[in-house]
Every structure is written in structure tokens, then in C-alpha cells.
Structure 1
Amino acid sequence: MDAIEEKATQGSTLRHLVRALRSRNYRLFLAGQGVSLVGTWMQHVAMSWLVYRLTGSAMLLGIVGFTSQIPTLFISPMAGVLADRWDRRRLLLVTQTLAMLQAVFLAVVVLTGVVQVWQIILLSLILGIVNACDIPIRQSFVVEMVEERENLGNAIALNSSMVNTARLVGPAIAGLLVASVGEGICFVLNALSYLAVILALAAMRIPPAAKPSQARRPILHELQEGFLYAYRFGPIRSILLLLALVSLMGMPYSVLAPVFAKEILHGGAHTFGFLMTGAGSGALVGTLYLASRRSVRGLGLVIVRATILFAVGIAIFALSRNFLLSLAALALAGFGGMTIVASCNTVLQTILDEDKRGRVMSFFTMAFIGVAPFGSLGAGAMAGIIGPRDTLLLGGLGCLAGAAIFARNLPKIREKVRPIYLRMGIIQEVATGLETATEQPPLVKDR
């Protein structure tokens, strides 16, 4: 009887972990996007190794990272406005098709042997433009795929789990393929992987969106409206600023990873692939942890702790000369980094106004990805001046400072978020918003 009860408990736990999969459209999305993201991570590793093999320059690694991410800073806000206006599924079909064509062109120039660094930089810029449109649209589309609103946080965590499962598998496969047959095959497989998500999007049944109650205004006016909304509301502002700081000072560790793999750990493409897999494994654990949570309650403290763990992981990686220690350090950094991003995403998605969802998620994309190119470029330049180790240590210190500031502002954030959760009634126990698990504050009036 105990064995039967134990199996029932395990089954109940598993259903809780994947409860967002009750929605058919979200199941399709997760399956298609999962295949596509494995190809995306394969291309990321292969492209980084190709650039470093051709040039041996950390600076050029930074430039490639810069060109692939800088469009997000300027284009994502406009894409956020479009996501609030137009059919998000059709927009995603367009962006995924364009991303597939980019991978095809990259495969052609590599397999024909005519590849040059300027071509890689140009194609990285093109992919950056596509992603700048795709990411805020995709982030705001999640709420349309999940039928039960209380499962939104679980859907975001599962989405992050999928990203990091791909991050776990893709780099390892890419490292082996690059070492055995070269980089070109990785780009071919990435191009083919986009078919999965395109077919999944085409198979979805999305009810028509309600027409806006007021006439559309100029794009710049709506963009300004979204910016003022995000800036004036303290919780959104604090989350976006912390994300921007982490992206600027901490996330560029991945840009310098090929330098550590080759120059410090004395390895090759397979070493780089395994290091990225280590970071992905930690990130996957982080997202599974978030998926197991029953509410958004306590996420404020989770964000603070995750930022500290992220900074410590980067620092250990910077100082390590041992492969296994470096692998463990990147697993810790991956856990912290992805927990920060997924937690911030969950909080934002549950507190923002529906008619501004696309615009706020475009600012989320700007903070997380749009700022990253400056970090990539700065890390590449700093590595040439003070060395890669000191560059990462400096980034870790910056993240620790951000965690301290966010922790100091946490009581004010809790106070402003609490009435929103009371009004929305997402789940009864969520009424305390970002409160810690042991805190039960009195109810307050709506703002």
C-alpha cells in the first residue's frame, strides 16, 4: 500500500511540474521550440569556435557577439508595439522563417569554403535583427498559449527548462561535430531544426484576439506610453535595471569561454562545448526548481540569492585552472543566471497590464539581450587590456553590487506588488506577491 501511495505522490508531483502542458497550444510550442533551440545552441557554439579558429582574437569574438545582439536595443521596442497590435502567431511564423534562411546562408558559405570573418559578422547582424523582433513577440505570446492563467508561471519556467535542455544538449553535440567534421554541419542542422517550430505554430488553434477599444495611435506615442508605464512603476523598473546590470557585467562570460577553453584549460572545441554544457546543466536545474514552485511568492528573495550565486560562479571560473572546477563553476553560474532571468520574467508577466504586455516584454528583451552586446564588446576589449580573468572578476563584483541594491529595495517592491496580486486573484496564496515564504503581511488597499 505504501508503494502505491508513493507512486501516486510521484505522479502528482510530476503533473504539478508540467501542469502548463494541459494546454494543447503550449504542448505544440514546447515540442517545436525544443527541437529548434538545440539547433540554435549548436550554431552558437560552432560560430564562436569558427571565429576564434580563423582569427585567434578575443576582440573579434566580442564584435560578433555585439553585432548579434545590438539590434535588440533599437528594434525590440518597435516589435513590442507590433506585438500589442497584430497577430503574434503570424509574426512568429515570419521571424522563424527568416532565421532559418540566415542559417542556410551561413551553412552555404562555410561548406563551400569561402567563409570570411566579415560574412560571419554580417550574418550575425541579420540574425540579431530577426531575434530583436522575435523575442518580445514570443515572450508576450506565451500568455495566449496557456489556457489557465494560474499556470503562467509554470509555463515560463518550463520554457526556460526547454531552453536549457537545448543548452545542455546542443553545445555537446556541436563540440563533437566541430571536432570531427567541421562547423558547417552544425549550421545545416540548425536550418533544418526551424521547420519543427514553424510546423508547430501552423498547427496551433488560437482564438481571435479582442479588438482594441480605442483607435490606434502613432507607434512612437504608444512606445512612449509603454516606457513611462514601466519607468514609473517601481517593481518593473527595479527588475529591468537589475537584468540590464547582470547582462552588461556578468553574461559576457560566455563570450570569453573559448579563450579559457584554449588558453587556460589547454583544450579544444570539445572542451568549449562541455563548458557550455556545464552552464546549461546548471541553468536547467534552476528552471526545474522554479517549475516546482507553487506560486510566485518569495521570488524577490530568490532573485537576490540567484544573483549572488551567479557572481560567485563567474569568479570561481575566472580563477580556476582545473577543468572539473571550471565545469562546476559554470554550472553554478548557469543556475544563478537562468534563475534570475526566469524569476524576473515570471514576476513581470504577472504584474503588468495586458494591453502593455508586448511593450514591457520588449523592454525585458532590451534589458536582457539589448544591453548584452555592450557587455560582449567591453569584455573583449577589457580582456585584451587586463586579461580575461580580471575582466570576469570585475563583472562578478558588479553583479554583487546589483544584488545588494535590489535587496535594499525589496520591501518597497513587495508593498507595490501585493495589491496587484490581490486584485488579479491569480492564486489565493499569492496575495503576498514577492513576500518571503514565512511572511504574512496585512492586506492593503489597491493603489
Structure 2
Amino acid sequence: MPEKCGTGLSLLPDVPRPNEPSVGRFGEVLRQYNVRLWAGADLVSVTGTWMQVLGVNWYVLQVTGSSTRMGLAMLVQALPVLLLGPYGGALADRLPVRRILVVTQVLHAVLAAALALAVFADAGLWAIYAVAAVSGVVSAVDGPALGRFGGMVAGPARLGTALAFGSLIHSTGRIVGMAAGGVLVASFGPAPLFLWNAVSFAGVVVALLRVRVADLHPLAAAPREAGAVRAGFAYLLRQPVVLGTLALSFVLGSLGRNYQVTMAAMSDGPLAGGAAGYGLLSAVFAAGTVLGALVAGQRAELTTRLLVGAGLLASALQVVAAFVPGLWAFALVLVPIAAAAVLLDTTVSARVQLDTREDMRGRVLAAVGVVGSLSGMVGAPLLGWLSEVAGPRAALAIGGAVCLAACGLAGARLVRRSEPAVPAALATA
């Protein structure tokens, strides 16, 4: 059984029972001033982030004509998270996270402005890669702190619903950001996208400063100690359910979730959709994530059993997608796959937070970030290689089959060892 410390659940008599109607869960969460404030700032920030992602990709492709160089920029930004993420988690567990976030958001704004300046000055790719590397260092500290602060905003009574609402915000911000960014980059180039992202972080800083501190739900902090990172790893190794959850997340993330690769390969290859088809599939996938967030928000419980079930559904549909004949049929199958993917992410986030001690939560969230980065770095090139060697359909089928096997193994081990179900209403940290 995982080690846990008190989450204060026994002090929350107004928590909805699992057998009560789950109507309006998002509305219940949004009654809280801090949640409304943080959600609004998050939507603006996520929109700016996706505008910047599009701008960087467009700029690198315009300058080099190389998708490999574009991928290198993403790799340069991901590496610091892999190397420094555990240290960022240790800081988040020990220091006041609101102060950490004010600093990191200001740094993100400065870096976005630096990107705009580099493009205006035609500084070259080295400047883009340098900013990406520094952004990765900031994100290594930023990610675990954001996770802990999100739990403090929503409180332990509504973690699952708040995480699902966060997924909805992320999906909406991605759709709006990519759409608006596409219009702006075609008319004015990428620099305005970077400037908008810089401004968007101001909204997050304002929200951090205006939050009602008295309404936050404090989490136990870790003491100042030598070897905090080692202590985090040692703690994680004693949590078989959390380790199994992370292992399943890695397999599903690497071979079952890199749809930017497989959608492009399928559209360019057997589906004969070309660039327009890829755009259609990307839009459909984004719509599916919105559906998944809505489903997750209405779930009465977020359990390990749900995690395995969503993984089995997504993996089986991935195998089906490998054999569908046309673009529209493939797009239709993508909708429940995307929805299941969000359900997976929400459940993983809820479980790893609720199944760990509060003073270790930052370090465990850092491990989640490391697993996410690794799955992208390993899975994207592997699926790309499989698509070239065996064909896109075979890549999808092989990846789906491996994911099915991983879910079956997880179902045999995780569900049996996990704790009794925790209501989704209680999964909001």
C-alpha cells in the first residue's frame, strides 16, 4: 500500500458522495474564487503557449526547411526537464510555491520576449535553441510547483474535477492558440506570437498576486535536508502502485500517444490526405480531448481500474485505426482515442497526487514530468522509424498491441494492489 499522509478529507463533510448525482461538477469547482481566477489566467497562458509553439515550429521550418531541426528545438527544451526535474520537485516540496511561480512566470515572459527580439534581429537558430534550453531549465522548476499550487487552489475535495477542468482549459487553449496563431503567423510572421505569449504570463502573475491566500488548501512541506532528491527517489521506489502507474503511463505515452507522428504518417501515406488531411485530423483530435475532459469531469470516481480501462480502450482503438480504409473513418476513430487519452492523463495526475505524501508531491510530480518527456523522446522517433520501415499502419498496430499487453499486465497487478476507490470529487488536490 502506498505511504500517505493526511489530506484533510475527514474535515470536509460537504463532499458529494459517490452515489449522488454528478450534475454540475465543473460548476461546483468554479464557485471558488481562487479556481475562477486561476482558470482564467491559465486559459490565457495556455493559448499564448500554443501560439509560441506554432511560431517556433514555423520559424525553424522557414529558415531551415528541416523537420529534424524543428524536433531538435523541442529536444533542447525537454532535456533540462529530464536532468533537473527532480531538483525542481524538491524545491517545490520545500519552498512556498506561490513565490516560486511568480519568479518562473516572469522568467517565461522575459524568454518569450527574447524570442521575439531574436526574430526581429534575425539572430539565427542559435538564439532560438538558447532560449529553448533556458526555458527548459525554468520549466524544470515550474512544473512541480504548478502541480502543488493547483492542488492548493482546488483543495483535496475536488481534485479530479479540477484536473478535468484543467484538461478542458488546455484543449480549448490549444485550439484557440493554434487557430489564432495560424492567422497571425501567415500575416505578420512569428514575432507577434512570441510577444503575445510574453504578455499572457502577466495574467498568471496577476492571478498569483490576487489569489485569496486564506482560501488556499495548504500542503505539508518537506524540511530542509541534504539529499532531498535521493529521498524522493527512495520514497518513490517504495510505492509499487505509483511506480506501476508511471510505467504504464510511459508505455502508453511513447507508443500510444505520439499521434502527431502517426497522424502525419497516415495522412501523408495510406490515407492520401496530405497537409489538409493532417490539419483535419489534428482538429478532430483536439475536439476529442475536449470530450474527454467533459467525461472526466463528470466521473464520480477516478480509480486505477478506470486508468487501466481507458488504456485498454485507447489501445484497442489504435489497432482498429491501423486498418480503417479512409481519412474520415480514421478521424472518427480518433475521437474516442483522444477522449480516452485525456481520461488517462487526468486519472494519472489524480492518482499520483492522492497516493503520495503531501511533502513528497512535488518530487513525484517531477517524476511524472520526466516520464512524459521521456515518452515523447523515445516514442516519436521509434514510431517514425516503424512508419518508414514497416509502414504507418503497421506502426499503429504494433504500438497498439504493445499498449494492450501493458494494460493487461497493469490490470493484473495495479488494480489488485491499489487502494479502495477515491471519489473524483475527492481527487482534486
- When normalised by structure 2's length, the TM-score is 0.82
Structure 1 residues 250 and 141: alpha-carbon distance in aligned structure 2, compared to 1, 3 A threshold: same
Correspondence for 1:216: 224
Distance, in Å, in 1 between the alignment partners of 2:323 and 2:59 is 26
Shift, 1:354, TM fit: 1.4
Distance 1:35 1:119, change over 3 A: same
Distance, in Å, in 2 between the alignment partners of 1:17 and 1:201 is 21
- Picking from 187, 193, 206, the partner of 2:194 is 187
User: 1:343-387 CA deviation, whole Å, 9 max, x = no partner?
Assistant: 111122222111211111111222223442233344455556556
What residue number does 1:137 align with?
Answer: 145
Offset, 1:275:
3.6
Structure 1 gap segments, 5+ residues each: 1-11, 434-447
275-284 vs 238-247, which moves further: 275-284
Supply the distance in 2 between the matched residues of 1:122 and 1:128 (Cα, whole angstroms): 10
Over 3 Å counting, the alpha-carbon distance change for 1:68 and 1:249 in structure 2 is farther
Residue identity matched to 1:288: L
Q: How big is the shift at 1:242?
A: 0.9
Alpha-carbon deviations, 1:293-322, whole Å to 9, x = none? 2233xx323222322343355556666785
Kept in 1: contact 2:244–2:414 (CA 8 A): no
Change (3 A) 1:62 1:381: farther
Corresponding residue number in structure 2 for 1:41:
50
Return closer, same or farther for 1:102/1:291 CA change in 2, 3 Å cut-off. same
Q: In structure 2, what is the equivalent of residue 402 of structure 1?
A: 406
Q: Is the Cα–Cα contact under 8 Å of residues 111 and 184 in structure 1 kept in the other structure?
A: yes
Calculate percent identity across the aligned residue pairs: 27
For 2:34, the equivalent position in structure 1 comes to 25
> Which of the residues 332, 335, 345 maps onto 1:331?
335
Does the 8 A contact of 1:107 with 1:187 survive in 2? yes
Whose relative contact order is higher, 1 or 2, with alpha carbons under 8 Å and at least 6 apart?
Answer: 2
Q: Which residue of 1 aligns with 2:114?
A: 105
Cα RMSD, aligned residues only: 3.3
Given the superposition, is the C-alpha separation of residues 381 and 301 from structure 1 closer, same or farther in structure 2, using an over 3 Å criterion? same
1:39 positional shift: 1.2
Q: Cα offset for 1:282?
A: 1.0
Which stretches in structure 2 are left out of the alignment for 5+ residues? 1-20
Are residue 199 (structure 1) and residue 212 (structure 2) matched? no
Work out the CA distance in 1 between the residues paired with 2:57 and 2:336: 22
Q: 1:428 to 1:364 in 2, by over 3 A?
A: closer
**Structure 2 partner of 1:64:** 73
Query: Of 240, 243, 246, which aligns to 2:246?
Result: 240
What is the rounded CA distance, in whole Å, between the counterparts of 1:313 and 1:49 in structure 2? Answer: 32
What is the one-letter code of the residue matched to 2:26?
L
CA shift, 1:102, in A, is 2.0
Pick closer, same or farther for the CA change 1:213–1:222 going to 2, 3 Å: same
Q: Within 1, Cα distance between the matches of 2:65 and 2:320?
A: 24
1:66-113 CA distance string (max 9 Å, x none): 222222222111111111100101111111122222222222333444
Counterpart residue type for residue 92 of structure 1: L
Identify the residue that residue 284 of structure 2 maps to in structure 1. 278
Report the secondary structure of 2:189's partner residue: coil
1:357 to 347, 356, 361: 361
Between the two proteins, the alignment pairs up a number of residues equal to: 405
> What pairs with 1:337-348 in structure 2 (closer than 5 Å)?
337-348=341-352
Amino acid at match of 1:66: L
Which amino acid in 2 is paired with 1:332? P
